[in-house]
């Protein structure tokens, strides 16, 4: 197996001084891979030089990942403090954050998490078989006082030492403004969909101005996302002519260009793969051969504002469409 010295992987320093590797391994296998396969990818990635693993309870594989984390530590491949392990509280546990975190720690066989996120700002349930027009009877819109109750529980995890850092995910500027106004501990990161065809420049700039690091998921455009998340107007980043041209110059897969762009832009990226060659090329790509200023400028112009993970499965009964989840009309409930 080819490896990369983990010390060559750049890190970002969060506002509180914590250092997080700029590339991690995502562990959402969609509907394509079982938990055991993903866990073995985690083990392979850590052996290869990855030190940042992005997990979530809803992915259904934390127990299997916990086994391989203990294996790589026991084998002397890595120490616990060399790893950055993230997890997330799911929508149905917003009132049981501490219990959910403790379950994740038990499943991952860890004493603490480096980062714990509120996965989505909607306290309702996920219906995996939903299509883009479905509505769930128990879905409700974002309500700020309820979210702040969830956030207070997140803050308690830091106070108790179960979690070193807390953050948000899938937020908007409107929601973040309220959170920053009312929180005691500011989120260190916001995890959000970002790829060259969906750059979110306004939200990105807002977060950076406020000292919040951006973690971008679906960094190559999530070609293997669930069928429920696909719509006819979706674009495919790795087929974009500008990305393909740059990839040809560098003799790399177009996906690597997307990752280089993300890191050079200043965000953290968490691509997913279970294939050894892709894991290696992704990691190598963010440590070598940066894009030119001209290429970065060209990629800044291919934003098609194409959101792929629309979140439509969380829509409440009276919502007009998935756009309501993202406050596109500027209105949110208090």
Give the per-residue pLDDT at 227: 79
Q: Which domains does the chain have, with CATH numbers?
A: 6-326 (3.20.20.100)
H-type alpha helices, 80-131: 97-108
What positions carry a catalytic annotation? 59
Assign 315 a pLDDT band (cuts: 50, 70, 90): confident
Q: Do residues 125 and 91 make contact, with C-beta atoms less than 8 angstroms apart?
A: yes
- The token pair at 263 is 């890191």
Phi, psi of 134 (to 5 degrees): -75, 155
Give the per-residue pLDDT at 314: 86
Give the per-residue pLDDT at 10: 96
Give the per-residue pLDDT at 268: 98
Mean pLDDT of the chain: 93
- The token pair at 63 is 């127990």
Query: Is the full-model pTM beyond 0.85?
Result: yes
- The token pair at 64 is 């299997």
Nearest to 240 by CA among 192, 294, 281, 298: 298
Give the per-residue pLDDT at 200: 97
- ∠ at Cα 171 (319, 150), nearest 5°? 95
H-type alpha helices, the chain: 35-48, 62-74, 97-108, 144-160, 173-182, 201-209, 241-250, 254-265, 276-285, 293-299
Q: What is the pLDDT of residues 206-231, one digit of tens each?
A: 999 999 999 999 999 988 787 778 88
Q: Distance between CA 61 and CA 35 in Å, rounded?
A: 5
Assign 135 a pLDDT band (cuts: 50, 70, 90): low
Assign 322 a pLDDT band (cuts: 50, 70, 90): confident
Q: How far is CA 69 from CA 34, 63, 73, 77, 170, in A?
A: 17, 10, 6, 10, 27
Q: Which of 27-36, 68-77, 132-141, 161-170 comes out lowest in average pLDDT? A: 132-141
Assign 29 a pLDDT band (cuts: 50, 70, 90): confident
Q: Which residue has the higher pLDDT, 194 or 226?
A: 194
Give the per-residue pLDDT at 332: 66
Q: What is the pLDDT of residues 262-305, one digit of tens each?
A: 999 999 999 999 999 999 999 999 999 899 999 999 999 999 99
């Amino acid at each position: 197996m080819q490896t990369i010295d983990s010390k060559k992987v750049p890190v970002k320093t969060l506002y509180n001084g914590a250092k997080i590797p700029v590339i991690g391994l995502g562990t959402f296998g969609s509907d394509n891979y079982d938990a055991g396969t993903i866990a073995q990818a985690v083990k392979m990635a850590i052996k290869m030089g990855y030190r940042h693993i992005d997990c979530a309870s809803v992915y259904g594989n934390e127990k299997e990942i916990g086994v391989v984390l203990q294996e790589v530590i026991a084998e002397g491949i890595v120490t616990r403090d060399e790893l950055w392990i993230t997890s997330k509280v799911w929508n149905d546990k917003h009132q049981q954050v501490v219990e959910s975190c403790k379950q994740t720690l038990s499943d991952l066989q860890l004493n603490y998490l480096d980062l714990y996120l509120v996965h989505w700002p909607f306290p309702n349930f996920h219906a995996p078989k939903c299509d883009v027009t479905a509505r769930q009877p128990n879905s409700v819109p974002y309500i700020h006082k309820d979210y702040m109750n969830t956030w207070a529980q997140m803050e308690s995890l830091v106070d108790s030492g179960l979690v070193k850092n807390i953050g948000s995910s899938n937020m908007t500027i409107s929601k973040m403004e309220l959170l920053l106004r009312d929180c005691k501990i500011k989120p260190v990161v916001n995890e959000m969909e970002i790829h060259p065809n969906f750059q979110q420049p306004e939200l990105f700039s807002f977060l950076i101005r406020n000292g919040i690091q951006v973690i971008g998921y679906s960094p190559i455009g999530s070609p293997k996302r669930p069928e429920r998340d696909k719509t006819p107007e979706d674009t495919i980043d790795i087929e974009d002519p500008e990305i393909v041209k740059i990839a040809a110059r560098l003799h790399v897969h177009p996906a690597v260009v997307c990752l280089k762009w993300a890191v050079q832009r200043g965000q953290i990226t968490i691509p997913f793969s279970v294939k050894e060659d892709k894991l290696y090329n992704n990691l190598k790509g963010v440590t070598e051969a940066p894009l030119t200023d001209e290429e970065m400028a060209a990629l800044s112009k291919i934003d098609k504002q194409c959101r792929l993970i629309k979140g439509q499965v969380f829509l409440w009964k009276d919502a007009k469409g998935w756009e309501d989840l993202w406050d596109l009309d500027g209105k949110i409930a208090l």
